[in-house]
Amino acid sequence: MQKIYGQAQNVLVWLGEPTDGSILGMRLIQNRMASVGWHQWKIDQTYGKPTLPFFKSVKSSIARMNRPRLIEEQINGEVRELLDRPWWRRTWIIQEVVLAKNIQIICGDEVVTWDTVASLLKRLLMTQTEVQVFGVKLSDRNIFPDRMYNLISGYHQQWHSTAGRLELLDVLYQFRILECTVAHDRIYGFLGIVHPDVAAKISPDYHLDVPQVYRDFARTMIQVTNNLHVLNCTRHWSGVDNGTQQQKAYSVLEQSRYYDIHALIFDGPDKTPRRGWARLPDGWERIPTKEKSLFRDNGDRTKQSSEWSPLEGQQAVRAEHYIKQRELSPGWSKIWDNLGRARVVYGVGEATREHQLRNEKELLRQKLSRLPSWVSSWECPSRWDPKPLVNFSLSQPRYFASGNTTAELSDHSNPRVLSLKGHIVDEVRQLGPAWHPETERPPVSRKGIDALVQWETLGLIELPDCPYSGTGGRTNALWRTMIADYAGAGAADSDDMAYIETWYDRTGWGRELPDMASRGVYETATLEGEIRELEGVMHTQFLQIRPLPDVGTRELLKHPWMNFSHNKKKYGGYIKLIYAACAHRSFLITYRGYMGLAPWNAQIGDKVAILHGGETPFILRNIKGTEDFSLVGEAFVYGLMAGEGMSEAFGGARDVNIL
């Protein structure tokens, strides 16, 4: 497969047959704007306009603001639909595209190159402003479902610039969300795009059951790499749903099926009602037509469709932001036909084949739930999976918890047991609450996050024989823990503590980000200005925490602390580090006084282990009545990340058996 796709002059990606809207999306990607306008007019002539007539839209500043944004959403939404087609969720497409020299995307008769999609996204960023604070997007306005496109593009570039040196664990972890009919392909489906020295050690065997494939793979990776990175991938949680995201309809035409687009709505208690989009009652459907919309009650199919909306004559309802239109109403589903075309439908039950596949997947999940704790279940990502502490693709590791040791497997009669050399160096004494943020957007400050405030309180309690007796003590250890700081030369500069102290927000400078729905032109501009002012407020707080040096004016002007853009960018980098390190983890204190980050399901009494070949420490749990352990997960323990736990003070190495 590697030779076929790698040597091909062109690889064709077929997304399926077109819809009326997908032609609009393809022409936008092609940057044929005259054709975009023509096809938009044709759609409006067939199904009616999604907006009010122009003369009705100019009666209020809110309507004037919403009209162009809804038109923009109509056009961009069709590109979103193209990027949400089933092709993007298939495991086997990854190697086809990563290996390809040139890629063309086909939908019906329309063709675009792979790179023109990226060109469109860049154009939209230049022409459609979006609100950002410290480099963090605060609005979903221009966000495309392009994560998979960007991931594939990154690996495609990396493959062709590094002579095919992709890290298998990195690829497997990133693409866990993809779909495949045969669970073996969670591993076998990526062997064509990783380093041949690794791929050669893994022989696909579809006769083996899935648990054995995953178990053998974990052992093989330890033997081939001489490290324990495969253990950093384990994510075993009970009672947590998977990471499947709620279906969204990106096509405005499809959204209009569960909305009355000319309903009476209001924007606030002091606002005059106006006409606009309002969600229909459960079970009701709008049937778009050129002349006048029809409405149907799917709960009573004996009734004929009517021109009268169930909202007509009712009190005005609260206006929604147009982005919320993407969220399907209860009872609605988004389905694709065999030609890749999407539509939203109400009350459609599972087909026999879909029901069978769902049952098979559930049986597989139950089987994989009985995997040994050290074996990653590549089939079951969840919404509470933290980002791995290690970077699988770095040539130099971030941490050196086990010093210069390498991983060696010891023989054991039970194939479910992983036997390694290591040290049990400490035990969890206290735990802070787990932090499970509701969004993937890093918070601009700690304000309102009680769990992280409790972490600080717990971490700064003075302890006898504290291991952090040096400069900065526990305060220094805490802020470096919050960013899972590098060990050795890569550690953050001590002066950068001021950024973290600013983020702690002890004065309440941060603010709750406003709902931008149903705002007029003036209000929107005012709120966006206030949000951007947060950057200046942050800088003022930062300078109070880290005063400027007492030097002459000329030297002062050259000092980095005076560079607002520099500080804003660096602050944004740190809030992203905090999110990556702390999200979906707990805060731990050990009996020796160390602090760190633990899996969110860690328990008091769990052991802190340094295993030979491990870049990070690991949290283990005694199996009752035995001397064996189960693996809870990877950990960051400040003061044990650079090999300190390998000293004689922590005792000698022993066999550590993990079930």
Query: Of the ranges 145-159, 225-239, 251-265, 501-515, which one carries the lowest mean pLDDT score?
Result: 501-515
Q: Which long-range contacts (CB under 8 A, 24 or more apart) does 33-38 make?
A: 36/75
CA distance 628 to 632: 13
Of 346, 380, 410, the residue that ends a domain is: 346
pLDDT at residue number 169: 95
3-state class percentages of the chain: helix first, strand second, coil last, to nearest 5? 40, 15, 45
Please check the confidence at residue 81 and state whether its pLDDT lies above 80: yes
Residue 240: is its pLDDT beyond 80?
Answer: no
The single residue listed with the structure tokens 């993007």 is: 88
Q: Tell me: do 449 and 555 sit in the same domain.
A: yes
Structural contact between residues 468 and 593, judged by C-beta atoms closer than 8 angstroms: yes
Q: Max alpha carbon distance in the chain (Å)? A: 85
- What pLDDT, on a 0 to 100 scale, did the predictor assign at position 441? 87
| 99 domain-assigned | no
Same domain, yes or no, for 449 and 342?
Answer: no
Q: When comparing pLDDT for 472 and 58, which is higher?
A: 472
- Please check whether residue 312 lies inside any domain of the structure: yes
If asked whether residues 327 and 448 sit together in one domain, one would say: no
How far apart (Å, rounded) are the C-alpha atoms in residues 209 and 216?
Answer: 11
Half-sphere exposure of 135 (CA within 13 A, CB side): 13
pLDDT per position as a tens digit, 327-340: 999 999 999 999 99
The burial class, CB within 10 Å (0-12 / 13-18 / 19+), for 244 is exposed
- pLDDT at residue number 450: 97
Are 447 and 571 in a shared domain? yes
- Tokens in use for 578? 């905090």
What does the pLDDT read at residue 350? 61
Taking 80 as the threshold, does the pLDDT of residue 92 lie above it? yes
3-class SS letters over 336-384 = ECCCCCEEEEECCCCCHHHHHHHHHHHHHHHHHCCCCCCCCCCCCCECC
- The answer as to whether 632 is a domain residue is no
Contact of 47 with 39, CB cutoff 8 Å: no
- Which tens digit of pLDDT belongs to each residue from 339-354? 999 999 998 766 666 7
Are 246 and 330 contacting, i.e. CB atoms less than 8 angstroms apart?
no
Q: What is the pLDDT of residues 530-556, one digit of tens each?
A: 777 888 899 889 988 886 666 666 665
pLDDT digits (tens, 9 = 90+) for 8-44: 889 999 999 999 999 999 999 999 999 999 988 898 8
Residues 320 and 447 in one domain: no
Q: What is the pLDDT of residue 82?
A: 95
Mean pLDDT (whole number) for 146-173:
89
Q: Give the predicted TM-score (pTM) of the model.
A: 0.90
Is the per-residue pLDDT at 239 higher than 90? Answer: no
Which of 526, 560, 580 corresponds to the end of one domain? Answer: 580
The residue out of 288, 320, 346 marking a domain boundary is: 346
Is residue 491 in some structural domain?
A: yes
Question: Per the structure, how many domains does the chain have?
Answer: 2
pLDDT given for residue 395 in this prediction: 79
In a domain, 541, yes or no: yes
- The reply to whether 197 falls in a domain is no
Residue 376 domain-assigned? no
CA–CA gap between residue 532 and residue 526 (Å, rounded)? 10
Tell whether 449 is covered by a domain: yes
Tell me the residue length of the chain: 659
Beta carbons of 175 and 91 less than 8 angstroms apart: yes
pLDDT reading at 142 higher than 70:
no
**Token digits of residue 131:** 């609100």
Cβ within 8 Å of residue 34, ≥6 positions away: none
Q: Which domain holds residue 554?
A: 443-453+474-580
For every residue of 458-485, which 3-state class applies, written as one string? HHCCCCCCCCCCCCCHHHHHHHHHHCCC
User: Which whole number is the average pLDDT over 260-274?
Assistant: 86
What pLDDT is attached to residue 47? 87
| Long-range CB contact pairs, 515-519, < 8 A, 24+ | 515/321, 516/131, 516/139, 516/321, 517/319, 517/320, 517/321, 517/324, 518/62, 518/66, 518/267, 518/268, 518/271, 518/318, 518/319, 518/320, 518/321, 519/62, 519/65, 519/267
With vertex at residue 615, the alpha carbon angle to CA 609 and CA 616, rounded to the nearest 5 degrees, is 45
Mean pLDDT of 598-612: 98
* Amino acid letter, residue 215: R
Which tokens sit at 565? 């853009």
- pLDDT at position 559 is 64
Mean pLDDT of 206-219: 96
pLDDT, position 406: 97
